[in-house]
Structure formats: structure tokens, C-alpha cells
């Protein structure tokens, strides 16, 4: 297996370009950082394009040592695509200050909705989540992680949302990309079509909006519905309001005007989980 010790190596320079939207679009690749995510990928039988690892860093934890053995003995990639690197190189690749010792390079094509649906169990999933220009990568990643945990059917993203393959989003999502269907850059016409397909009969579209007279827990969330969460600074867009059939709010006390969008999404999604699990 090759060894790379310089951050200026051409292969490393090309990988660092994957931290940008243009680099990801041009190459059709993106990065997942850390042993937890690589372990989840291998368990889900998602084949990385390349793996870059630093053995000394991985050997610091029992989980890292186990993953290192898995990389060296069981990963079915060409030898030139499993690359040992120095600490300087892995730190140059990693978007966080303290690297955990491994970076996976993955094809975007392996994460289209058809592929992610195939990795999920068959089940009835009444909740469809729509993110309306959610711009902060940390919020986006947290929402995706929560959406997978709450077992939503899919997440639809409008064109001005944060890039769901931004390294900060991928890190915050903690593996949600592997099994959560995500559709990006959808027009509102396309979103309306997805809602129609999801709801089958009369579409029900809930719009989260502070101050609405309808509290979220008074709604029936057991049958198929869509939930729209708006932009952090500006709230719901006009097309979102036009598509919505009901605006719902979370009760707030002590003069608090709104909640962080990721926190609010979690509250609403888990009310749906609670209702859907009732006998």
C-alpha cells in the first residue's frame, strides 16, 4: 500500500478540493471523516472510492485498532486506493482540528435517493421533511441525523439550502447520509409533486411558524404528511406558505420568540414518532 507524507502531494491537493462545492461537483466525490463513519459505511456495504488512514492515530482507541485491522485485511479495494498517510497529511485532509485518523472518499452516486432507500428496511413512514433554505451546515447536519433517527420517509431540500455534502454537514449528520433519502435543489413544483406522491390522497403540509394558533401536538401526525421547516433568519418563504395547508407552532414562554431550527425540527418530528407508536 502507498504511503504519502507531504500535504502538497497532488493526490492530497485534489482531495482538499472536495471541501468545496465546485470540487465535489466536478469530481463526483465527497469526504467522510472519522472511524465511526467508515465503520458504518463498511457495515452497510457501501464501498468507498478511496481510504486515507493514519495508523498511529487509529491505534489510540480499541475501536480504531479494530477498524485498522478491518481496513488492512477486509476492505476490497485496489491497493493504490487504500493509502497510509502521515499525521500532517491526515490533518490537512480533515476539516476538524483534531483528526481521528481516517478519511473516506465516496462517490456521490452511491447516495442518490434510490440507493439510500435500498439500504433501508421496508416500512410505512408517514413523515416527509422539507427544508426551506436552511442555510447553516451545523443545523443541516443535526436535522439530517434527527430525521434518520425519527425514521422520516425522505428529506427534500430547496436550492438555497446548505450543501448536504459539505464536510461540516456530513460530520454533524453522523452517518445519516448512508440510509436517509435526501433530494437536493428541488423546485417547489417538484416538491409539490413529491408531497402528492407521499400523501396519496389529499396532501397535508404542516408549516412550522412561531405564533401560529395551532399547536403542533394538536395535529394528527399518524397518517402521511409533510413538514416544512424554514430558513433560520427569514422563516418560511412565500412558496412554502403557498404549499402549506396548516401552520403549526411550538408554545414558547418568557418572551422567547423562536427556537433554533434544528431543535424545533426535533420536537416536531418526535411528536410524530410518539403519535405513530401509540396503540
Q: What is the predicted pLDDT for the residue at 41?
A: 94
Q: Evaluate whether 3-111 and 113-276 have a shared fold.
A: no
150-205 confidence digits (pLDDT tens): 999 999 999 999 999 999 999 999 999 999 999 999 999 999 999 999 998 789 99
pTM for this structure? 0.93
- Whether residue 75 has pLDDT greater than 90: no
Q: What is the predicted pLDDT for the residue at 74?
A: 78
Q: What is the predicted pLDDT for the residue at 96?
A: 67
- Whether residue 53 has pLDDT greater than 70: yes
109-163 confidence digits (pLDDT tens): 999 999 999 999 999 999 999 999 999 999 999 999 999 999 999 999 999 999 9
Helical H segments across the chain, by residue range: 10-16, 21-27, 35-43, 55-58, 62-74, 87-93, 113-118, 137-149, 167-173, 188-199, 238-243, 261-276
- Whether residue 49 has pLDDT greater than 70: yes
Domain with residues 3-111, CATH architecture: 2-Layer Sandwich (3.30)
| CB-based burial label for 233 (10 Å; 0-12, 13-18, 19+) | exposed
Superfamily of domain 113-276: SPOUT methyltransferase, trefoil knot domain (3.40.1280.10)
Q: What is the predicted pLDDT for the residue at 30?
A: 96
Taking alpha carbons only, the member of 11, 10, 29, 31 closest to residue 81 is 11
Domain residue extents for the chain: 3-111, 113-276
Q: What is the predicted pLDDT for the residue at 107?
A: 96
- Whether residue 97 has pLDDT greater than 90: no
Amino acid at each position: 500500500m502507498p504511503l504519502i507524507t507531504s500535504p502538497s502531494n497532488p493526490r492530497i491537493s485534489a482531495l482538499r478540493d472536495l471541501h468545496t462545492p465546485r470540487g465535489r461537483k466536478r469530481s463526483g466525490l465527497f469526504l467522510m471523516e472519522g472511524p465511526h463513519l467508515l465503520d458504518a459505511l463498511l457495515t452497510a456495504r457501501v464501498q468507498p472510492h478511496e481510504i486515507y488512514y493514519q495508523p498511529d492515530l487509529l491505534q489510540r482507541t480499541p475501536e480504531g485498532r479494530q477498524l485498522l485491522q478491518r481496513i488492512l485485511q477486509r476492505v476490497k479495494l485496489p491497493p493504490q486506493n487504500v493509502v497510509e498517510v502521515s499525521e500532517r497529511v491526515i490533518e490537512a485532509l480533515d476539516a476538524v482540528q483534531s483528526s481521528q485518523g481516517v478519511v473516506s472518499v465516496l462517490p456521490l452516486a452511491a447516495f442518490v435517493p434510490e440507493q439510500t432507500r435500498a439500504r433501508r428496511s421496508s416500512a410505512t413512514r408517514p413523515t416527509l421533511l422539507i427544508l426551506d433554505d436552511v442555510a447553516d451546515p451545523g443545523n443541516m447536519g443535526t436535522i439530517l441525523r434527527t430525521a434518520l433517527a425519527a425514521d422520516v420517509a425522505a428529506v427534500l431540500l430547496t436550492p438555497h439550502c446548505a450543501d448536504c455534502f459539505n464536510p461540516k454537514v456530513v460530520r454533524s449528520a453522523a452517518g445519516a447520509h448512508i440510509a436517509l433519502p435526501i433530494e437536493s435543489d428541488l423546485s417547489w413544483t417538484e416538491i409539490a409533486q413529491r408531497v402528492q406522491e407521499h400523501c396519496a390522497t389529499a396532501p397535508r403540509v404542516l408549516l412550522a411558524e412561531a405564533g401560529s394558533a395551532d399547536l403542533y401536538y394538536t395535529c394528527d401526525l399518524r397518517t402521511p404528511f409533510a413538514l416544512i421547516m424554514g430558513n433560520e433568519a427569514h422563516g418560511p418563504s412565500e412558496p412554502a406558505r403557498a404549499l402549506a395547508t396548516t401552520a403549526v407552532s411550538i408554545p414558547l414562554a418568557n418572551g422567547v420568540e423562536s427556537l433554533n431550527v434544528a431543535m424545533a425540527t426535533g420536537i416536531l418530528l418526535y411528536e410524530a414518532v410518539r403519535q405513530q407508536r401509540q396503540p
